[in-house]
Amino acid sequence: MTIATETYKGDEALAGLLKKSGHPADLSQIRGLLAGVVAAPEGEHPDDWIGLVAPGADAACRRQLQALRQEVSRSQKAPGLQPGPGRLVALRKELARRGLAGFLVPRADEHQGEYVPPRAERLAWLTGFTGSAGLAVVLAERAAIFVDGRYTLQAREQVDTTLFEPQHVTDQPPDAWIARHLPKGGRLGYDPWLHTPEGLKRIAQAAAKAGGELVPVEGNPLDAVWTDQPPPPLAPVIALDRKFTGRGSEEKRESIAKALAGDGIDAAVLTTPDSICWLLNIRGADVPRTPFALGFALLHRDGAVELFMDRRKFTPGLEAHLGNQVSVELPEGFGPALDRLGAKAARVLVDPQSAPAWAFDKLAKAGAKPVERDDPCLLPKARKNEVELAGTRAAHRRDGAAVTKFLAWVAQAYSSGTVDELQAAARLAEFRRQGEYFRDLSFDTISGAGPNGAIVHYRSSEKTNRPLRQGELYLVDSGAQYFDGTTDITRTLAVGTPSAEMKDRFTRVLKGHIALALARFPRGTTGSALDSLARYALWQAGLDYDHGTGHGVGSFLSVHEGPQRISKLPNRYPLEPGMIVSNEPGYYKTSAYGIRIENLVTVIEDARDGDERPMLAFETLTIAPIDVNLVDKGLLTAAEIAWLNAYHARVRETLSPQVDAGTATWLAEATRAV
């Protein structure tokens, strides 16, 4: 984060500096852009926006632009997220005015991403809850907030429970609550931009069961009462070089368009930023930790794209990169474009898992024929090409070196007893920033000492910060966004001497991790089929963990990417060569400690003599030592010991040349054979 050290000297002075730098000096335009810039996360490169208005501006001009940003930021600063009852009262008044008995407030934006821009933090604005998933249901007399197991504690802390009854989403799902509390004949409203058709199904049934009705609203009533709602974010959009993407956008578009045409489909609606960014080889910074440029797109059967995105956030040269098969319009143009498809009675692909209900309604009303099918970018994006895989391997080597420097630093530093969670996370980020192509962290680091490690989605704060103490475990889950790949790694360290129980648990988690790392499986196998392999050793001792075993990962895109995953939940997408997925079994003892061992792996073809089936396996991408002080060797089979020693030999050989002598010495000891 860059702090402007100058005060803003006024529009006239800045206009002069801009003119001197050879740039148009339309200050009202710049202020308009800045409203969007400060509505995007600041991130690791807070000055990049200057390239949008005055690329190559001189230092004096840049300093004043920074000062102006600070000023705009202050004036537009989002109000604190501790709402009193006033917001709920205002919303209810607005609902009554519109004849609505209730309204759904999801933690979602139009793109159904995990991270949303400040403008879309409606749930936080209304309730104070800042978790990454949740739903409030507001009725005239009562309101509830539904969160999952990760967030029950946090919701109780952040939310005024006299206003919103906190509910566990699986114990008491919203549909059951709605069926009980929606008054007969009541119209329950939803913003069709913020929900998928799939997500609404059960709620519609529940409303019907209560004798009421679920109805779309035009114009979000919460937005109507959120007077200082931030505008849409405007972070710079860049082209991602072919040396990172491996395939040109034109080639991607042609191949998908051909498949659409073959299926008699005229166009595909794209609403998820990762699909659009992947297809056009662009990246942005509109949401935290993820290089998304928010927008909508239509891919036509001839390979042409209509992109609905604010051109003001394009960095110089981006339109040339997009080429003349990509036309650009404002997001407001998305609706009229669907109308045009309707007028031609076009068959339009739209994904009911990710597209807003709005798009389905719009297409149907316009006379188009919606074809409900997977987003056509979903699988091509998930199957990384050779260039992307080479990039991710390089990124993991860089990332592993940073993690190893960090681990060596922790080992040295905690012996003096002065390391705490926040210091450790900051130090780890510092090591990563030194890496080539580093852009950002890929998520807020989970740095949990002792009992904090048992909180699966823990984020350390001044309030919870805790030193690393002898006899405790320290869990650190972190990752980075590099131009050539996205990383995500968890290591668990013994601080001092671990207990026998800690070693037993760690070794069971490790056995699960190795079972997956060594697994061979026939083509066609889904991650659902593999999940139990990672749990078996824990299950035998009556233990388990309450999260998935593996999530998909993007290429300089989202750190949580579908459609593949390793999980108890059903999944219809087989693992395919080139897909990246995490391997992260864990164990959590509430109020005591947490254990997780996470490497990213990619699916590879694995043909061997004697095979009767086309077999696949995993190549481990993450390169960093696993704490052997926590291993109870007696619990491991010979094959498991062989895996661990071979992995550590690879870690040592790969990283030793990349780190300083002190770290290399530590690494040699850390990767000793067991």
Among residues 505, 187, 244, the alpha carbon closest in space to that of 391 is found at 244
Contact 279, 299 (CB under 8 A): yes
Which of 130, 325, 499, 532: binder of a copy of itself (CB under 8 A)? 532
In whole angstroms, give the CA distance from residue 116 to residue 131: 11
Q: With CB under 8 A as the contact rule, which of the stretches 184-192, 293-301, 413-421, 530-538 interacts with a copy of itself? A: 530-538
Q: With CB under 8 A as the contact rule, which of the stretches 38-46, 195-203, 471-479, 609-617 interacts with a copy of itself? A: 609-617
Considering only residues 177 to 216 of the shown chain, the ones binding a copy of itself according to CB under 8 A are: 209
Which of 610, 634, 657, 661: binder of a copy of itself (CB under 8 A)? 610
Which of 251, 430, 611, 653: binder of a copy of itself (CB under 8 A)? 611
Residue matched to tokens 């400060």 = 38
DSSP 8-state code for residue 317:
T
Considering only residues 232 to 271 of the shown chain, the ones binding a copy of itself according to CB under 8 A are: 264
Residue matched to tokens 């504690």 = 153
Paired tokens of 362: 């719009």
Considering the rule CB under 8 A, would residue 168 count as an interface residue with a copy of itself?
A: no
Closest CB 630 distance from a copy of itself, rounded Å: 19
Considering only residues 121 to 160 of the shown chain, the ones binding a copy of itself according to CB under 8 A are: none
Paired tokens of 215: 């109805």
Closest CB 179 distance from a copy of itself, rounded Å: 10
Contact 145, 136 (CB under 8 A): yes
In whole angstroms, give the CA distance from residue 201 to residue 219: 21
In whole angstroms, give the CA distance from residue 52 to residue 346: 37
Q: Is the Cβ of residue 521 or residue 647 nearer to a copy of itself in the bound state?
A: 521
Q: Which residues pair with 144 in a beta bridge?
A: 137, 165
3-class DSSP state of 478 = strand
Which of 613, 633, 650, 672: binder of a copy of itself (CB under 8 A)? 613
Closest CB 171 distance from a copy of itself, rounded Å: 13
Closest CB 569 distance from a copy of itself, rounded Å: 9
| Count of residues engaged in binding a copy of itself, rule: CB under 8 A | 34
Which of 500, 572, 657, 661: binder of a copy of itself (CB under 8 A)? 572
Considering only residues 535 to 554 of the shown chain, the ones binding a copy of itself according to CB under 8 A are: 536, 539-544
Among residues 509, 474, 277, the alpha carbon closest in space to that of 377 is found at 277
Cβ count near 583 (within 10 Å):
25
How do 282-283 and 305-308 pair as beta strands?
unpaired
Q: Is the Cβ of residue 411 or residue 529 nearer to a copy of itself in the bound state?
A: 529
CA count, 13 A, side-chain hemisphere, 93: 9
Which of 608, 634, 657, 661: binder of a copy of itself (CB under 8 A)? 608
Supply φ then ψ for residue 257, to 5 degrees. Answer: -60, -35
In whole angstroms, give the CA distance from residue 428 to residue 406: 6
DSSP 8-state code for residue 624:
-
* Count of all residues that appear for the chain in the document: 674
How do 326-329 and 580-583 pair as beta strands?
unpaired
3-state secondary structure 24-92: CCCHHHHHHHHHHHCCCCCCCCCCCCHHHHCCCCCHHHHHHHHHHHHHHHHHHCCCCCCCCCHHHHHHH
Q: With CB under 8 A as the contact rule, which of the stretches 292-300, 517-525, 619-627, 658-666 interacts with a copy of itself? A: 517-525
Which of 336, 417, 471, 522: binder of a copy of itself (CB under 8 A)? 522
Q: Is the Cβ of residue 384 or residue 513 nearer to a copy of itself in the bound state?
A: 513
In whole angstroms, give the CA distance from residue 661 to residue 648: 18
Closest CB 530 distance from a copy of itself, rounded Å: 6
Q: With CB under 8 A as the contact rule, which of the stretches 252-260, 565-573, 578-586, 665-673 interacts with a copy of itself? A: 565-573
C-alpha distances out from residue 486 to 168, 425, 427, 631, Å = 32, 18, 19, 29
Q: Which residues pair with 300 in a beta bridge?
A: 267
Considering the rule CB under 8 A, would residue 515 count as an interface residue with a copy of itself?
A: yes
Q: Is the Cβ of residue 203 or residue 559 nearer to a copy of itself in the bound state?
A: 203
Which of 67, 530, 600, 636: binder of a copy of itself (CB under 8 A)? 530
Q: Is the Cβ of residue 249 or residue 549 nearer to a copy of itself in the bound state?
A: 549
Binding mask 634-663 for a copy of itself (x = CB under 8 A): ---x--------------------------
Which of 219, 570, 634, 657: binder of a copy of itself (CB under 8 A)? 570
Contact 271, 298 (CB under 8 A): no
Closest CB 473 distance from a copy of itself, rounded Å: 17
Which of 146, 443, 521, 593: binder of a copy of itself (CB under 8 A)? 521
Cβ count near 223 (within 10 Å):
14
Closest CB 627 distance from a copy of itself, rounded Å: 23
Considering only residues 107 to 126 of the shown chain, the ones binding a copy of itself according to CB under 8 A are: none
Considering the rule CB under 8 A, would residue 345 count as an interface residue with a copy of itself?
A: no
In whole angstroms, give the CA distance from residue 476 to residue 495: 13
Q: Is the Cβ of residue 490 or residue 571 nearer to a copy of itself in the bound state?
A: 571
Residues that bind a copy of itself in the complex, under the rule CB under 8 A? 209, 264, 515, 518-522, 525-526, 528-533, 536, 539-544, 568, 570-572, 608, 610-613, 615, 637
